[in-house]
Amino acid sequence: MKTTAAHPFVRLFGRYLRDQGFPMTQQRASVADVVFGSDEHLSVEEIEGCLRARGERIGKATIYRTLDLLVRSKLVDEHDFGEGFKRYEHRLSRQPVHEHLICLSCGKVTEFRSSEILRLEERVAREHGFRPSRHKLEIYGLCADCRQSGARLEDEGLTCPIETI
Amino acid sequence: MKTTAAHPFVRLFGRYLRDQGFPMTQQRASVADVVFGSDEHLSVEEIEGCLRARGERIGKATIYRTLDLLVRSKLVDEHDFGEGFKRYEHRLSRQPVHEHLICLSCGKVTEFRSSEILRLEERVAREHGFRPSRHKLEIYGLCADCRQSGARLEDEGLTCPIETI
DNA sequence: CTCAGTGCAAACCGTTTGCAGAACG
DNA sequence: CGTTCTGCAAACGGTTTGCACTGAG
């Protein structure tokens, strides 16, 4: 049942479910509690691990189905950082719109805000007759820690840079 | 054999292969020719279709392996627009760094350049001790055509916006 | 001849789905 | 009690891999 220390934001999810005519089950509450209780960008595997660490065994299918509801509710964002699987991040207690710095060595994700990007989105969209709905700005590279521990990014490619053709 | 009308950029790929000690085969030349011959963002399925239309039957595995080489050579960029599969775009005859507008209704991809984004990348990275390697800016929404034909993006989520908590 | 490349089919892996049984209201 | 959810396992789909065969040098 795990009524212990349920994250307050879980109630918001409960409201969304009620609005949509879906019941709040203990599995849904548990998955939501894990997601709202972390400020990381969690993978399904990590979520499953957190649940198991609490002594709750919830099937992957249920986790996926609950994440789908959380994303629909707009309380949670889904990200694909090109790792071959998705990551999930709740949108509460943080700036609703933010961008990501992703370390190519350790995978750490850092968030940052930018107002310029909103202006840029607006302007570019206008120039193309495009109605923007959302954007994604990701900067990939090496985080401070990995730089210091001497991590390197392999670089191959043509010996003659294409610009010199 | 298809010596007919091979795209000149294929020779660059040949040079890369030679540099790496790999032979240029007719399959590799054909895949490269299709990619360099299009200014679209092609999926593997589309590449396979182009090859078939020319009367060439090349196995998917070979196409994937060749695309891997093309990406390594930095002559081709790999993109994931969240469709569940990858798209490939050659980097020649166009601005090497550019961003994408992606229509959520018809899937059309439009490119644009932005110098602000480079400055922004530089500044944000410096603020976080991050060494940037590349970035990705994608704006999702409705293209002009889809707007005119009355396309809509469904929107659900909480009835009470989270900002009002 | 030799060795890497190719093509087929099977494996992979994150994710989705079908269905029998459990749980909510 | 009916309806929805859950959990298992099988299915899915894009991508990767193993391996016998082919072909280039």
Please write the tens of the pLDDT for every residue from A57-85: 999 999 999 999 999 999 999 999 999 99
**Do the chains contact at A139 and B160, CB–CB below 8 Å?**
no
Tens digit of pLDDT for each residue in B30-71? 999 999 999 999 999 999 999 999 999 999 999 999 999 999
- Residue A159: closest C-alpha in chain B: B16
CA dihedral (B119, A130, A89, B85) in degrees, to 10, reads -100
d(CA A77, CA B43) in angstroms, rounded, equals 26
Q: With bands split at pLDDT 50, 70 and 90, how would you rate the model's confidence at A102? A: very high
Among A74, A7, A13, A68, smallest CA distance to B161 is for A74
Which residues from chain A sit within 8 angstroms of residue B160, using beta carbons? 15
Q: Which residues of A touch B162 (CB under 8 A)?
A: 12, 74-75, 91-92, 96
Total residue length of chain B: 165
Angle between helices B9-20 and B26-36 (to 10 degrees): 140
Cα nearest neighbour of B127 on chain A? A112
Contact A147 B133 (CB under 8 A): no
Near-strand C residues (CB closer than 7 A)? A 23-26, 43-44, 60-61, 64-65, 68, 84-86; B 22-23, 25, 27-28, 57-62, 65-66
Measured CA B151 to C1' C22 distance, in angstroms: 42
Chain B positions touching A18 (Cβ under 8 A) are none
Contact: B110, A96; criterion CB under 8 Å = no
Taking C1' of D7 and every protein CA, the nearest residue is A59
pLDDT score at B163: 45
DSSP B93: T
| Per-residue pLDDT, B5 | 55
With beta carbons under 8 A apart, name residues in chain B contacting A117.
117, 120, 137
d(CA A21, CA A23) in angstroms, rounded, equals 7
- What value does the mean pLDDT of chain A take? 88
For the segment B100-111, what is each residue's pLDDT rounded down to a tens digit?
Answer: 999 988 888 999
DSSP of A34-69: HHHT--S-EEHHHHHHHHHHTT----HHHHHHHHHH
Sequence-distant (6+) residues with CB within 8 A of A123 are: none
| pLDDT averaged over every residue in chain B | 88
- Measured CA B112 to C1' C25 distance, in angstroms: 54
Count CA atoms within 13 Å of residue B113 on its CB side.
5
Given B132, B147, B158, which is nearest A74 (Cβ)? B158
If you measure CA to C1', which residue is closest to nucleotide D23?
B25
Kindly give, in sequence order, each residue whose CB lies less than 8 Å from that of residue A140, ignoring residues fewer than 6 positions away.
A102, A104, B132, B133, B134, B135, B136
Residues of B in Cβ contact (< 8 Å) with A99: 124
Q: Search chain B and give the residue with CA nearest A70.
A: B157
The edge-to-edge listing of strands for the beta sheet with A42-43 is: A42-43, A87-90, A76-79
Global pTM reads 0.86
Whether residues B125 and A114 touch (CB distance < 8 A) is answered with no
Residue B88 has pLDDT above 70, yes or no: yes
* Element containing residue A79 per DSSP (H, E): strand A76-79
